[in-house]
Amino acid sequence: MTCDRLVCANCAGPVAEGRCAVCRAHRARLHQENPIGALTPAMLIVLLVVLAAVALVVH
């Protein structure tokens, strides 16, 4: 998840701008979260192809 479209409930500004302490804290938490959530669909397809190739080689 990105903070591009999130609106802060505290200051009603975009979280990406970090206008208040709540925005900055939430933005920092989003950037520290699970890196698996940052995978793009293209990266997932490549990962599946690699796993399928490994499975074929092992089999």
Write out pLDDT tens, residues 29-49.
Answer: 877 765 666 667 888 899 999
**Which whole number is the average pLDDT over 7-29?**
87
Rg (alpha carbons) of the chain, rounded to whole number: 18
Q: Is residue 43 part of a domain?
A: yes
Alpha-carbon dihedral sign for residues 23, 26, 28, 30? negative
| Assigned token pair, 22 | 């709540």
Q: Is residue 54 part of a domain?
A: yes
- Domain hosting 43: range is 15-58
pLDDT for res 56: 94
pTM metric for this prediction = 0.48
Q: Is residue 46 part of a domain?
A: yes
Q: Is residue 30 part of a domain?
A: yes
Q: Is residue 29 part of a domain?
A: yes
pLDDT for res 32: 76
pLDDT for res 1: 56
Number of domains in the chain: 1
Gap between the Cα atoms of 38 and 2, Å rounded: 9
Q: Is residue 10 part of a domain?
A: no
Q: Is residue 5 part of a domain?
A: no
Q: Quick one: which of 16, 22, 19 has its CA closest to 1?
A: 16
Q: Is residue 49 part of a domain?
A: yes
pLDDT for res 9: 86
